[in-house]
Chains A and B, each alone.
Chain A
């Protein structure tokens, strides 16, 4: 059956993810489509979702306002695969602290039992590109684009650590839910998007 993959289009780099998923669908030869989604109705029809990079406070507050946050949580808890990128991973977390400000009371989905440190590597001037590795999902080398990136400061026992950079956790997985600190959609490399699509495809069929 045809896959229906969505990119949460409240705020952030939606277009880049649309294009990465399109390329991944083509390369894998999967029968599927990818669209930008915003409303609870659109979200309820999805087989898989990417929460893109952006500002997590904005994405959180606005998805609360239009009711999509609630539907998102239900769908993910019922097994819909999700890839959360940067702000998206923050959205998936249980608690988020800012490196400088401390505790934030932003709306979160509380799906992954992880503690997030926002702006973990510093401000924009400290943003960086570096190679990261996700051996356990067969992506040994990946150009990690870290933009005011968060890192995972603490994980629950059921969380699989996919990647660490310089001692800090930058990618995690629990079942069908994946979170990354870095931005695969800002590179030409679509291997992580392909891995995610395969997850969605396996679950659907």
Chain B
């Protein structure tokens, strides 16, 4: 089972309260990571309006992610991308029954606090927005609301988990409609997991210490992860997913679920495509169902993709070295 433990004794996000003299606990790792567990085998869709959120819910999305602009539009618009308007986030929260997430800038503690006060169900500290701190990510243990982070490698993922991330998503290259980078990242994470698992199985603790130093994380988290043979939190794929087949392929690589950014609402057949991507994610290992899903979309309606080699802005690199 995925480890739900990992509480820090100094985590300010864990709150003990009494309701009518009954003791309760909020913000524990069980609750924060557990929330992510409920999303497994599902699709989280980027949305910018109430209408899009409702389309996502009807299509069977497990959650929606509210942004000011879709990643592809952020790319076109340039300038500084910030968290979405609180009023729009609240309107969406009041229009759908599924969980609502929202993005804040990397390292922007107060944008995240605003989102926590807004009562979004999960905060995404995201490279799609312009980073606010090049050196530090948010110390997520101090939040009662769970936070998801992007990662391109096992080292990045473990650093984020050590800061308190309750969930990880691979970064991919957002807003491109090109799934190549997402595939590269998940394969890299899988390779690195295999490596540390092999070291753990061999009993060579000195080599695990070396890996911890290389990853710039504690020995404990490397050991725990090596023992599990997978990330100790739920791990979704993200970045450039545009078709049902894209989603099915990433699921087959061992992802727990899918984030779709621009791929749905930048396509001309958003409603059908949203349903089709959910279908392909759920039944990813049944090839007839994936084909059925793929048939629901029209390639001529897909968003025009971008070649990652020609990009001026590589969002995935943001926050990657910290």
Q: What chain A residues lie within 8 Å of B146 (beta carbons)?
A: 124
Are B26's CB and A58's CB within 8 A? no
Say yes or no: is A45 at the interface (Cβ < 8 Å to chain B): no
Are A62's CB and B40's CB within 8 A? no
Say yes or no: is A199 at the interface (Cβ < 8 Å to chain B): no
Partner of A147, one of B17, B25, B31, B96: B31
* Size bin of chain B's contact surface: 35 or more
Say yes or no: is A118 at the interface (Cβ < 8 Å to chain B): yes
Say yes or no: is B283 at the interface (Cβ < 8 Å to chain A): yes
Q: Which of B114-122, B192-200, B216-224 faces chain A?
A: B114-122
Are A166's CB and B22's CB within 8 A? yes
Alpha-carbon distance A131/B23, docked complex (angstroms): 8
Within 8 A of B (CB), among A12-63: 12-16, 19, 38, 53-55, 57-58, 61-62
Q: What chain A residues lie within 8 Å of B279 (beta carbons)?
A: 62, 65
Partner of B119, one of A86, A87, A123: A123
Q: Which of A98-106, A134-142, A170-178 faces chain B?
A: A98-106
Q: What chain A residues lie within 8 Å of B283 (beta carbons)?
A: 38, 66
Q: What chain B residues lie within 8 Å of A148 (beta carbons)?
A: 35, 38, 99, 121
Alpha-carbon distance A12/B37, docked complex (angstroms): 7
Q: What chain A residues lie within 8 Å of B31 (beta carbons)?
A: 124, 127-129, 145, 147
Are B144's CB and A125's CB within 8 A? yes
Interface string of B5-26 (1 = CB under 8 A from A): 0000000000001011011111
Say yes or no: is B309 at the interface (Cβ < 8 Å to chain A): no
Q: What chain A residues lie within 8 Å of B84 (beta carbons)?
A: none
Known contacts: A11-B62, A124-B99, A125-B145. The answer to whether A62 contacts B278 by CB under 8 A is yes
Say yes or no: is B60 at the interface (Cβ < 8 Å to chain A): yes
Known contacts: A11-B40, A123-B121, A127-B31. The answer to whether A58 contacts B25 by CB under 8 A is no
Known contacts: A15-B2, A127-B31. The answer to whether A58 contacts B24 by CB under 8 A is no
Alpha-carbon distance A27/B172, docked complex (angstroms): 44
Are A14's CB and B40's CB within 8 A? yes
Alpha-carbon distance A9/B256, docked complex (angstroms): 13
Are A183's CB and B34's CB within 8 A? yes
28 residue pairs of the A-B complex, CB under 8 angstroms, read: A11-B42, A12-B38, A53-B38, A54-B38, A54-B39, A54-B42, A55-B99, A58-B61, A62-B282, A100-B94, A101-B97, A118-B97, A119-B97, A123-B99, A123-B120, A123-B121, A124-B35, A124-B122, A125-B121, A127-B31, A127-B34, A129-B24, A129-B25, A130-B22, A130-B25, A147-B38, A148-B121, A186-B4
Known contacts A11-B62, A86-B38, A126-B26, then 13 further A-B pairs from the complex at CB < 8 Å, ordered by chain A residue: A10-B41, A15-B2, A55-B63, A58-B62, A123-B99, A124-B31, A124-B145, A125-B27, A127-B35, A130-B23, A131-B22, A131-B23, A166-B22
Interface residues of A (CB under 8 A from B): 9-16, 19, 38, 53-55, 57-58, 61-62, 65-66, 86-87, 98, 100-101, 104, 118-119, 122-131, 145, 147-148, 165-166, 183, 186-187
